[in-house]
Amino acid sequence: SVKGPKDRYRKRFTSVFYTRILSNGEYCDRDWLVYCEQLDRVFCFGCILFTKGHRKGQLANEGCNDWSHMTNRLKDHETSLDHVSSMNNWYELRSRLEKQQTIDKAAQRQLEKEKDHWRKVLFRIVCIVKFLAKHNLAFRGTNGKLYEDSNGNFLGLVEMLAEFDPVIQEHVRRITNEETHVIILIIRFRMNCHFLASSIRSEIVKKIKSSKYFSVILDCTPDASHQEQMSLIIRYEKDLNFLILI
């Protein structure tokens, strides 16, 4: 259960406040009640959205942290005219959003379409990253642009997918027409690389710790820019596998 810090009267917020007990003994969820841990205050979600002007002492503006009298405060608030009106407005808006019958429904459909597009693009980028990581292939080349020589395996696979996959075709079209900056693709690529690298490293460490014997080899070699690169090679006893951490 959620609990907040105690005040000077040794009272605090608890998850009990999320439930309202009706006069007939039934329990009802206060789905409008929001607790902010940083401020240690409760707010009314519906009133924050729809109440006009400042309502001092209400849960729509500065919030409330009078824990000693919170039960009565909540009862007074949820039966007030402002709260009932705000919640009616929220329920109507929520219903219209679910049915896509808002005034800006065309914009909502476009937003959902765009979200779906980026979700599909991200899924394909993750698949490319997983493939390159699984086969221990380099990601970058000496060139970081699409459809240019020596642009590496990652962009090369993007180009290949664009030959037959409509999602990547549309994404590449946006990049080449400068509707979408290529930096977005690079950011997502780097985010996924970092996530996958962290997961792979954790799995390697887990296997090493579970093995009875393991050996460590350090190897250094200069790269194309003459910078020394060190590889940590770990051999562990189980199945005589070799693992490489760079």
Asked, for residue 43, whether it belongs to a domain, the answer is yes
Same domain, 79 and 128: no
- The pLDDT score that the predictor gives to residue 136 is 78
- Judge if 199 and 231 occupy the same domain: no
Residue 181, classified by CB atoms within 10 Å of its CB into exposed (0-12), middle (13-18) or buried (19+), is exposed
Can you tell me the distance from the alpha carbon of 58 to that of 42, in angstroms, rounded to the nearest whole number? 10
Shared-domain flag, residues 85 and 151: no
Residue 132 carries which side chain, given as an amino acid letter? L
Say if residue 81 is in the same domain as residue 110: no
Encoding tokens for residue 9?
């009267």
Total domains in the chain come to 3
8 Å CB contact between 50 and 44 = no
Is the CB of residue 70 less than 8 Å from the CB of residue 64? yes
* DSSP H or E segment with residue 43: strand 41-44
Residue 6 forms part of a structural domain: no
Sign of CA dihedral 24, 88, 1, 10: negative
For residues 59 and 114, membership in a common domain is answered with no
Where a domain ends, among 64, 99, 134? 99
Asked if the structure places residue 119 within a domain, the reply is: yes
CA distance 140 to 138: 6
| 160 and 188, same domain (yes or no) | yes
Residues 191, 230, single domain; the answer is no
Domain end, chosen from 99, 123, 158, is at: 99
Is the residue at 9 inside a domain? no
Query: Angle, nearest 10°, between helix axes 152-161 and 166-176?
Result: 120
Contacts of 230 (CB under 8 A, 6+ apart): 218, 219, 220, 246
Estimate to the nearest angstrom the gap between the alpha carbon of 108 and the chain centroid. Answer: 21
Query: Residue 166 sits in which domain range?
Result: 106-207
Residue 42 burial (10 A CB sphere; 0-12, 13-18, 19+): buried
Are 72 and 164 part of one and the same domain?
no
Q: Does one domain contain both 87 and 22?
A: yes
pLDDT tens, N- to C-terminus, the chain (246 residues): 578 888 888 898 998 899 988 888 888 889 899 998 888 899 988 888 887 766 655 788 888 888 988 989 898 888 888 888 888 888 888 887 777 676 666 677 777 888 888 889 888 888 888 888 778 788 878 887 888 888 888 888 989 999 999 998 888 888 888 766 554 555 555 555 666 677 777 888 888 888 878 888 888 888 777 888 888 788 877 655 444 444
Whether 126 and 180 map to the same domain: the answer is: yes
From 81, 99, 117, give the residue that closes a domain: 99
For position 246, what pLDDT does the model report?
A: 45
> In this structure, what token pair is assigned to residue 139?
């990601």
Question: Do 202 and 215 reside in the same domain of the chain?
Answer: no
Residues 116 and 200 grouped into a single domain: yes
Q: Give the other-Cβ count within 10 Å of 79's Cβ.
A: 9
User: Is residue 2, in this structure, part of any structural domain at all?
Assistant: no
Establish if 238 belongs to a structural domain: yes
DSSP structure string for 185-238: HHHHHHHHHHHHHHHHHHHHHHHHHHSS-EEEEEEEEE-TTS-EEEEEEEEESG
Q: Say how many C-beta atoms besides its own lie within 10 A of residue 44's C-beta.
A: 28
164 within domain boundaries: yes
Please report whether residue 7 resides in a domain.
no
